[in-house]
Copies of this chain bind each other. A is one copy, B any other.
Amino acid sequence: MATHALDPTDTRFGLDRRVMLPGPFALASGQSLAALEIGYETYGTLNADASNAILVCHALTGDQHVASVHPRTGKPGWWARLVGPGLPIDPARHFIVCANVLGGCSGTSGPGSIDPATGRRYAMAFPVITIRDMVNVQARLLDHLGVGVLQAVVGGSMGGMQALDWAAAHPARVRNVIAVASAARHSAQNIAFHEVGRQAIMADPMWQGGDYAEDKPPAAGLAVARMAAHITYLSEEGLTAKFGRRLQNRDTLGFGFDAEFQVESYLRHQGLAFVERFDANSYLYITRALDYFDLAAAHGGQLAAAFAGTKTRFAIISFNSDWLYPTAESRRIVRALNAAGAAVSFVELESPFGHDAFLLEAPEMNRVVDGFLRAGA
């Protein structure tokens, strides 16, 4: 299979790829998709024994542009601090794959895709999906790319959930898992925040039951959803350090409802910018997939049973100020992996930046990822 990867004319490899795979593709819900489109990118070259493939999984609002400039925003890849030349995940040494998740809005089948049965956008007729479905789509993509066994699956936040789920769903296909700032289930509080976001979107009359025109999205509702979520990505300490009670472009209170505090202005900007790059229905579907995630559920609540007999090595990394997926959730994973007899290393890193820390400059995280991957190559 590796010969394909060495052929420079092979259009399966490179940036900004799309592939349409034939269906039916069965989903956890019992429904299926007639066909499956996947938007993805690859970096580097698959080596002769096809042993250097690393799958990078993105978070809720991420995409396949892990280390390439985002075509819409012009910003660097979302994990360009970890993936790239000279970095722990290095195209000079690794064959790196990153795909937009199922349900997404960046090239992979989702509510914005055309339903072949009707010739119109699925919208809310798209089937509800799960993290497991996302993982199975990635497996289909790897088949297509000629990758059998992954050297590693690496992800943060929802990406970490996919990485963990890979080890549970396809244990023979993944030698190493790195899950950063993640959890093996969504907590009641996690679900609650997502429900607020969904209600904000669905309360927006522009949502139209999901049938909005592409150029008339429920922008106000989606912006509110993003604002609420964004607070959970930051720590109280981080917000205080970054903004405190400082005013925006003024010296005294304005006694009005404009964005007078810097933190208000920042949040409003986050909401507005998000609307430019993300689809409201995708937000509904992906948050739902997250809420449904509970690796132990299929095993009578015994998380260790999800990893029974695993040969995969695990690195679990948390950040001490992350209150969205706090260290306690990582410890729970580590206890389960220990109970399953798995090789697991765990570290809680210090950071004032809350959940977002995994996307920011994090030299210690890079050292842990690098050391773990080199030891288990």
Instruction: Report the Cα distance A128→B260, complex, angstroms.
Output: 13
Beta-carbon contact of A264 and B224 below 8 Å: no
Partner of A192, one of B188, B191, B239, B284: B239
Mask for A240-268, Cβ within 8 A of B = 1, else 0?
A: 10111100000001011101010110011
- Counted per complex, copies of this chain come to 2
Please tell me if A73 contacts chain B, counting CB pairs below 8 Å.
no
Residue of B at shortest CB range from A201? Answer: B224
Smallest distance from the beta carbon of A285 to chain B beta carbons, Å?
A: 9
Instruction: Report the Cα distance A326→B240, complex, angstroms.
Output: 14
Partner of A199, one of B189, B193, B271: B271
Beta-carbon contact of B29 and A191 below 8 Å: no
Which residues on B sit within 8 Å (CB–CB) of A360?
Answer: none
Beta-carbon contact of B188 and A256 below 8 Å: no
Which residues on B sit within 8 Å (CB–CB) of A224?
Answer: 196, 199-200, 203, 224
Please tell me if A294 contacts chain B, counting CB pairs below 8 Å.
yes
Beta-carbon contact of A188 and B228 below 8 Å: no
Please tell me if A338 contacts chain B, counting CB pairs below 8 Å.
no
Beta-carbon contact of B257 and A191 below 8 Å: no
Smallest distance from the beta carbon of A319 to chain B beta carbons, Å?
A: 16
Beta-carbon contact of B188 and A268 below 8 Å: no
Which residues on B sit within 8 Å (CB–CB) of A234?
Answer: 189
Q: Shortest 10 CB-CB distances between A and B: which pairs?
A: A203-B220, A188-B239, A128-B255, A29-B255, A188-B263, A188-B243, A195-B264, A189-B236, A196-B227, A200-B224
